[in-house]
Amino acid sequence: MTENAMEIQMFGVIGESFNDKTISEVLRKNSNQDVVLQMNSPGGNVFDGIAIFNMVNEHKGKVVADVYGTAYSAMSLIAMAA
């Protein structure tokens, strides 16, 4: 992981605290940059979770998931994409 990796905080419920649209905007603007996903979530909207999984999986830079607490339900899918 490079020192200038972008950090994306995903704390809270998927679909309420953040959603597929907000994550898509950040990843699209930084399409080749390495990313650290900082996560702590009980899960949430499965459809947003699957969309974020696909975006992370297709991201051109390296992606690492750091779990701060929990990554339950749909958040565990996103963690697996990293």
Question: What's the burial of 27, exposed, middle or buried (CB within 10 Å: 0-12/13-18/19+)?
Answer: buried
Alpha-carbon gap, residue 74 to 43, rounded angstroms? 5
Alpha-carbon gap, residue 51 to 24, rounded angstroms? 9
Q: How confident is the model at residue 2 (pLDDT cuts 50, 70, 90)?
A: low
Convert the pLDDT of each residue in 20-79 to its tens digit.
Answer: 999 999 999 999 999 999 999 999 999 999 999 999 999 999 999 999 999 999 999 999
